[in-house]
Amino acid sequence: MDIAKELLEGSRLALSRAITAIENEYPEANDIMKELYPHTGHAYVLGITGPPGAGKSTLTDKIARAYRKAGKTVGIIAVDPTSPFTGGAILGDRIRMNELTLDEGVFIRSMGTRGSLGGLSHKTADAVKAMDAFGKDIIIVETVGVGQSEVDIVKAADTTMVILIPGMGDDIQAIKAGILEIGDLFVINKSDLDGADKLVREINMMLDLDAGSMMQARTATEEAIANQFHHLNVTKHEEAAPGYWRPPVHKVVAMQNEGIEELIGLAKKHHAFIEENGELHRRRTRRARDEMLDILNARINAHIKGHIVDNGRLDGYVKSFQNHETDPYTVVADLLKEMLK
């Protein structure tokens, strides 16, 4: 079956097979991506992240339904951790999304992390592209927001929602997790529980500290520039400074569908804001750049593996190091000359 062609014609099975090819790094995945690439760039990508049990899947379900009601088609990529011990995984995010299964405008795919060495962020990005080319308007990527690879996945989103719940420790936990930096919107789920307002206050306070320091940094830079170029009469231009998006903190009760419409409204507002001030373009540029370097790195690694690991040359070198006949620096220099001809 010609997967790319059938995917572009709207075959759900082809989309599913394409994602499998991406996940398993089948050789044909490259050809599929080549054909799909010109058809990408239309979808808006929403990242949802937060600790286990925060309600990410339930919220994803509700957000997807709200977008469906507005006539948008939705793709969902739900990432769950793979066991580092057995390589197996239980991917249970669909449990919260069962009613979406039979909606033809929704496509849900569960992915295991399969160890971050496998380049999960790159694979997720390709799966997003496959759904984009398939014609989905909104693509939601849902993942546990801990660990570098998960943060990388979220960086692939245009708008990132960080979802938190009351009762998970004090405000220090939120700083520690490094989660404050990646959120464009903060969602306090289960906000009918005790401590929700306190959490809202704490997050707001920390975001204001953040905003304060960013403003300060910006003003200092502008002054430095102004001082340096004062002979050119460069002054501070309020309108020239890129606007600062102060992430809103929004309370929801996902189970009861409370606060979801407003949340979608905030996501739209963020979208419009970053489109207006050029941040969306910057994010997508950065993404394209990272992606290209990722692919190049992966290819070069594969080349190295084929060139010296799989054929046993590496073992030979190691032996000669151990016998002090040569050293790794000499060998690497020679190999580079040989490979980069």
Separation between Cα atoms, residue 43 and residue 133, nearest integer Å: 8
CB 266 within 8 A of CB 185: yes
Nearer to another protein, 22 or 180 (CB): 22
Q: What residues have CB less than 8 Å from 220, skipping those under 6 apart? A: none
Smallest distance from another protein to CB 168, Å: 25
Nearer to another protein, 108 or 177 (CB): 108
Nearer to another protein, 81 or 183 (CB): 81
Smallest distance from another protein to CB 109, Å: 6
Is residue 326 helix, strand or coil?
coil
Nearer to another protein, 82 or 160 (CB): 82
Smallest distance from another protein to CB 3, Å: 11
Q: What's 80's DSSP letter?
A: E
Give residues in contact with another protein (CB under 8 A).
Answer: 12-13, 16-17, 19-20, 23-25, 82-83, 86-92, 94-95, 98, 101-102, 107-110, 112, 114, 118
State which amino acid sits at residue 324.
Answer: H
Find residue 10's DSSP bridge partners.
Answer: none
Smallest distance from another protein to CB 12, Å: 6
Helix or strand run (H / E) with residue 49: strand 44-50
Smallest distance from another protein to CB 95, Å: 4
Q: What is the DSSP string of 202-254?
A: HHHHHHHHHHHHHHHHHHHHHHHHHHHTGGGT----GGGSPPP----EEE-BG
Smallest distance from another protein to CB 252, Å: 22
Smallest distance from another protein to CB 68, Å: 16
How would you list the strands of the sheet with 185-188, edge to edge?
106-112, 74-80, 138-144, 44-50, 159-164, 185-188, 249-251
Nearer to another protein, 95 or 214 (CB): 95
Length of the chain: 341
Nearer to another protein, 89 or 304 (CB): 89
Nearer to another protein, 114 or 270 (CB): 114
